Structure 1
Amino acid sequence: MDAEELLGVGRSADVYALDDAWVLRRYRGGGDAAAEAVVMAYLAEHGYPVPKLRPLSAAGDLASTRSDLVMERLSGPSMREALWQGGITGKAAGVMLAALLRRLHAIPARLSGDVDQRVLHLDLHPDNVMLTPGGPMVIDWGNVEEGPPGLDWAMSALILAQVAVTPGVEASVARAGLTAMLERRDRTVDLGDAGTGFLAQARLRRAADPNLTSREVGVLDRAVELVVEVTGVGRG
């Protein structure tokens, strides 16, 4: 098969067209796509909106390493593209992100026997939601872990807040999305405060992410303050 058509370039992976139905997602740094596929298959069994997967053996020599993932080719824009094009408002995006997080955390953990543990995406934001004719689909599960839902909410909130505090055309839309998302979080989910708890953990994770630019790292403190402002959680 011909995988020369590059469809997209992410921070850690590239996506190539295999044909009209399938794409190849390849990590540049050797990420474990096989482990990612196992989690995606588990979520699909529970009805969560993830792309369909195809066994690597069906893709021939192109998908021959653990860095390769073959999945269905989705139609429709990403949520971020739709926001840029005016096809969705920031508030509507926030409502959708909240629904996707709540739906994900309703699924039992795959490995842990702890009833408080859930599958966490840990990178759920508008770039990683595709708005297909059949509804939103969540992509890019490379950061997936099992843990407390509060950490997932804190990560998504902090990512949106980083955009909201950065001057630019996306700032006001990101703030509207952040507010709408957090207003609809499960009230049993505690983000903790800015000094301890899940918000603090999210900040540490974002600061340690090698894919972030120095500018993105530089606004983390202001982003934390915005989440504190929106949620009313303590400052630690």
Structure 2
Amino acid sequence: MPGSDHVPAWPGVRVIRVGIPVFLAAGRDADVFALDDRRVLRRYRAGTDAAPEAAVMAHLGKLGYPVPRVHRVDHADLVLERLDGPTLLQAVVDGLVSADDAGRELADLQARLHTLPPRVSTEPDWRIRHGDLHPGNVVLAARGPVVIDWRNTTEGPPGLDIALSAVILAQVAVDGGGALAGIARAVLPAFLAHSRRDALVALEEAVAARGADPNQGDAEIAHLGRAAALIRALSTDP
């Protein structure tokens, strides 16, 4: 009832301050709701179990890596710290951060991730791989840049993670002449220049992974060949 002080708890979530969850955003496979001024609910539409994602964030948070704090997980519902601030992408769009600085920040965050031990694997050279690290998945929060959306996390040789980020940027860069394409074309060379590993090492594997991703549309898949060619060209330029 409007004006009532009693609102049923969101299923599987303990709401700290009584109130109705407010829709904030929709991703490819999840919706995000504000629960209060400190917490958000990320709910997977297909009922995907969010426990592995929560475990990775909890592991990295204990190691001091900038991830959202995990408050609660209940199957497809993940209650996280609410981050106030623009994404790195939005900051570039608004002229608050240069494309070169964005590429450097992205590369530094990824390099820092790859210095940390994996959560499960005992392979000496394996690391946690974000799998979808791009400027839209970095929030410039009050406490500093925070990496979000750990849904695609895997463990393995870190070169694939770098190649995937390069391919994601390159796909946008070759997708016409819009503002986002221009930003991606400017951020990609900086990302490649500041990355501590060669993106070409696992480029073919990254292209194959993106092509097999069920979240990729036909147009995005069609850009993969040109995206790979752009990465090769930028990686071999003197």
Question: What TM-score comes out, normalization by structure 2 length?
Answer: 0.88
Moved >4 Å (runs of 4+): none
Q: Once the two structures are superposed, what CA deviation does each residue of 1:98-136 show, in whole Å capped at 9, x if it has no partner?
A: 000000000011211111100000000011110112111
Query: Residue 220 of structure 1: CA displacement?
Result: 0.8
Look up the equivalent residue of 2:225 and give its one-letter code. D
Query: Residue 21 of structure 1: CA displacement?
Result: 0.6
Secondary structure of residue in 2 paired with 1:102? helix
Partner in structure 2 of residue 72 of structure 1? 81
Partner in structure 2 of residue 23 of structure 1? 40
Secondary structure of residue in 2 paired with 1:170? helix
Distance 2:21 2:72 in 1: 20
Secondary structure of residue in 2 paired with 1:7? strand
Kindly indicate whether the alpha-carbon contact (under 8 Å) linking 1:89 and 1:173 is maintained by their aligned counterparts in 2.
no
What stretches of structure 2 of length at least 5 have no aligned partner? 1-14
Given the alignment, which residue of 167, 170, 185 partners 2:180? 170
Distance 2:98 2:184 in 1: 10
1:211 aligns with 2:201: no
Q: Once the two structures are superposed, what CA deviation does each residue of 1:19-41 show, in whole Å capped at 9, x if it has no partner?
A: 11100001112222111111100
Distance 1:49 1:119 in 2: 14
The CA RMSD measured in Å over matched residues stands at: 1.5
Given the alignment, which residue of 199, 204, 223 partners 1:191? 199
Q: Report the number of matched residues.
A: 219
> Alignment identity in percent?
49
1:156 aligns with 2:165: yes
Kindly indicate whether the alpha-carbon contact (under 8 Å) linking 1:31 and 1:142 is maintained by their aligned counterparts in 2.
no
Distance 1:86 1:190 in 2: 29
Q: Which moved more, 1:18-27 or 1:207-216?
A: 207-216
Given the alignment, which residue of 182, 188, 191 partners 2:192? 182
Question: What TM-score comes out, normalization by structure 1 length?
Answer: 0.89
Change (3 A) 1:93 1:3: farther
Task: Kindly name which structure, 1 or 2, has the bigger radius of gyration based on alpha carbons.
Answer: 2
Distance 1:18 1:74 in 2: 12
Query: Residue 3 of structure 1: CA displacement?
Result: 4.5
What stretches of structure 1 of length at least 5 have no aligned partner? 57-64
Q: Which moved more, 1:29-38 or 1:13-22?
A: 29-38
Secondary structure of residue in 1 paired with 2:84? coil
Distance 1:112 1:3 in 2: 41
Distance 2:21 2:30 in 1: 15
Partner in structure 2 of residue 60 of structure 1? none
Query: Residue 172 of structure 1: CA displacement?
Result: 2.4
Distance 2:99 2:47 in 1: 34
Distance 1:22 1:91 in 2: 32
Distance 1:145 1:53 in 2: 19
Partner in structure 1 of residue 58 of structure 2? 41
1:55 aligns with 2:72: yes
Distance 2:44 2:206 in 1: 23
Given the alignment, which residue of 98, 117, 123 partners 1:114? 123
Distance 2:114 2:181 in 1: 28
